């Protein structure tokens, strides 16, 4: 249990680790789905190709879309792409980095499905059984069979129980021939995907390291900013609800006093604790306006140090402050950290 807890905590450490864990789970699920799938070739000349290629290509496409759906960054990418310009510009390099990162992770499960399918060989055997070279592997001079009848006999190669063309070509020979071709394609596909992953992961930072780091940093910043905004909104909603409920019960105090029920008096500190977290936003219209303003014109990514006015000029103009207060020290430390 401790190992599973450590793995779970690692997946929750950041967004990339979480999505890597999701992609790994989807890859394992794809292999389990294929092993549990009951493959039944129709063994008909006009349907074998569609069925075999459909099983080979349609589930990977579904898994690819599912990888995008399960990725939390897809909504963040769409929001960043469609939002108005406002006070903050949109960097196309950051959007491309986010999309490529999601696409790479979403391709893991489809690649595993295609690899397992090709290495197993059933789909290729079903799809291309009518293309077996009978002249090379079998008896092409078999009498009393037209070209259409030969195609019908070859289409039954994946169905050993109904195959009746042993005199034309042996079922084991045709299946082994097609399975060898499928496995060769499967290993070539695995080698190609591994090579592409190596090139993308290792060579891309070598050519544009500064641009890569910049895109990665601001991609992480957008994710963290969104989480902090959601947490701030949730905290404000909790404080807003707490104040509304307190005001409701205070409004009912007249009836309770009439019924000779004496309520305990709340201290001013407790009463103002939730009101402080409202930050001056105390009605629904103002909150809606703040949310629309955040979407339409996000603040620019430029932090200004606090200024202290003194009289008609600026505090400490040309002179350092001798006795900074505790709050000023905290603010200075905060901006130094950022």
Contact assessment for residue 155 and residue 43, using Cβ atoms and an 8 Å cutoff: yes
Mean pLDDT in consecutive groups of 10 residues from the start of the chain, 338 residues: 56 60 78 85 90 93 88 81 84 88 87 93 92 81 73 89 85 92 95 90 77 86 89 91 85 66 52 71 88 86 67 45 42 36
pLDDT value of residue 261: 56
Cα(102)–Cα(64) distance, integer angstroms: 10
Cα(308)–Cα(314) distance, integer angstroms: 6
pTM equals 0.72
Letter string b/e over residues 115-145, b meaning 16 or more CB atoms within 10 A of that residue's CB: bbbbbbbbbbbbbbbbebebeeebeeeeeeb
Domain range annotation of the chain: 1-207, 209-258
Cα separations in angstroms, 262 against 242, 253, 257, 265:
21, 9, 6, 9
**325 class by beta-carbon count within 10 Å (0-12 exposed, 13-18 middle, 19+ buried):** exposed
pLDDT value of residue 10: 55
pLDDT value of residue 320: 45
pLDDT value of residue 201: 78
Cα(292)–Cα(286) distance, integer angstroms: 10
Contact assessment for residue 256 and residue 263, using Cβ atoms and an 8 Å cutoff: yes
Contacts of 325 by beta carbon, 8 Å cutoff, 6+ apart: none
pLDDT value of residue 125: 93
């Amino acid at each position: 249990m401790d190992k599973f807890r450590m793995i779970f905590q690692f997946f929750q450490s950041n967004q990339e680790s979480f999505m890597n864990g999701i992609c790994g789970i989807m890859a394992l699920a794809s292999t389990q789905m294929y092993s549990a799938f009951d493959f039944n070739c129709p063994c008909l000349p006009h349907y074998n190709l569609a069925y075999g290629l459909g099983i080979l290509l349609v589930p990977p496409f579904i898994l690819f879309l599912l990888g995008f759906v399960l990725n939390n960054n897809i909504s963040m990418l769409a929001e960043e792409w469609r939002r108005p310009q406002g006070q903050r510009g949109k960097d196309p390099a950051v959007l491309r980095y986010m999309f490529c990162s999601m696409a790479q992770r979403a391709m893991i499960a489809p690649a595993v499905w295609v690899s397992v399918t090709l290495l197993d060989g059933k789909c290729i055997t079903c799809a291309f059984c009518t293309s077996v070279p009978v002249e090379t592997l079998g008896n092409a001079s078999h009498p009393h069979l037209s070209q259409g009848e030969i195609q019908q006999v070859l289409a039954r190669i994946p169905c050993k129980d109904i195959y009746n063309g042993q005199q034309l070509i042996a079922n084991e020979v045709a299946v082994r021939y097609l399975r060898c071709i499928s496995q060769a394609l499967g290993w070539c596909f695995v080698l190609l995907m591994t090579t592409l992953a190596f090139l993308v992961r290792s060579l891309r930072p070598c050519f544009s390291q500064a641009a890569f780091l910049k895109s990665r940093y601001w991609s992480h910043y957008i994710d963290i900013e969104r989480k902090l905004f959601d947490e701030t909104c949730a905290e404000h909603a909790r404080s807003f609800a707490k104040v509304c409920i307190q005001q409701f019960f205070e409004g009912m105090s007249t009836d309770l006093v009439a019924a000779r029920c004496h309520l305990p008096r709340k201290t001013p500190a407790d009463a103002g604790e939730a009101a402080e977290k409202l930050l001056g936003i105390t009605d629904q219209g103002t909150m809606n306006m703040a949310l629309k303003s955040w979407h339409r014109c996000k603040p620019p990514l430029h932090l200004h140090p606090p200024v202290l006015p003194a009289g008609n000029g600026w505090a400490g103009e040309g002179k350092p402050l001798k006795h900074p207060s505790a709050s000023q020290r905290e603010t200075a430390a905060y901006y130094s950290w950022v």
